Amino acid sequence: MAMAERYGSPSTQIIRLMGAWQYPFRNVEKDDKILVLTDDAMDPMVWQSAMAALYERGTDPTLAMQPRREHHCADLNWGLLAAIKEADLALGLLSTATIASPGMRALRQAGVRVGSLTLMEETTVEVLLEGGGRAKSDDVREMMELQQRIGQVYDKGTKIHLLSQTGTDLVADITSYEPGTYGNLGGRRGTAAEPFSRNPETGKLGGGTWPYGELHIEPTPNTANGTVVWDTTAIYPPGVWKNPVQLTIKDGTVTAIEGGGEADQLRWYLEKYGDENSWRVGGEMAIGTNKLAMPNLGLMRSEKKRYGAMHYGIGHGADLGLVNSCLRTEGIIGRITIVVDDNVVVAQDGKILV
pLDDT, tens only, 213-234: 999 999 999 999 999 999 999 9
**pLDDT classification of 8: cutoffs 50, 70, 90:** low
Question: If you average pLDDT over every residue of the chain, what do you get?
Answer: 91
**pLDDT classification of 112: cutoffs 50, 70, 90:** low
Last residue of a domain, one of 86, 108, 130: 130
> Do residues 34 and 67 both lie within one domain?
yes
> Do residues 178 and 281 both lie within one domain?
yes
pLDDT value at 5 more than 60: no
> Do residues 150 and 6 both lie within one domain?
no
pLDDT value at 85 more than 90: no
> Do residues 105 and 147 both lie within one domain?
no
**3-state DSSP of 204-269:** CECCEECCCCEEEECCCCCCCEEEEEECCCECCCCCCCCCCEEEEEECCEEEEEEECHHHHHHHHH
d(CA 225, CA 185): 31
pLDDT value at 328 more than 60: yes
pLDDT at residue 100, as a whole number? 74
> Do residues 179 and 306 both lie within one domain?
yes
pLDDT at residue 291, as a whole number? 97
pLDDT at residue 113, as a whole number? 60
According to DSSP, the residues that pair with 253 across neighbouring strands are 250, 280
> Do residues 272 and 144 both lie within one domain?
yes
Full domain range(s) for residue 254: 135-352
Element (H, E) at 172: strand 169-173
d(CA 346, CA 351): 9
> Do residues 144 and 72 both lie within one domain?
no
> Do residues 204 and 114 both lie within one domain?
no
pLDDT value at 107 more than 90: no
pLDDT at residue 316, as a whole number? 85
> Do residues 243 and 320 both lie within one domain?
yes
Question: Quick count: other Cβ atoms within 10 Å of Cβ 188?
Answer: 22
248-304: pLDDT as tens digits? 999 999 999 999 999 999 999 999 999 999 999 988 899 999 999 998 888 999 999
**Total number of domains in the chain:** 2
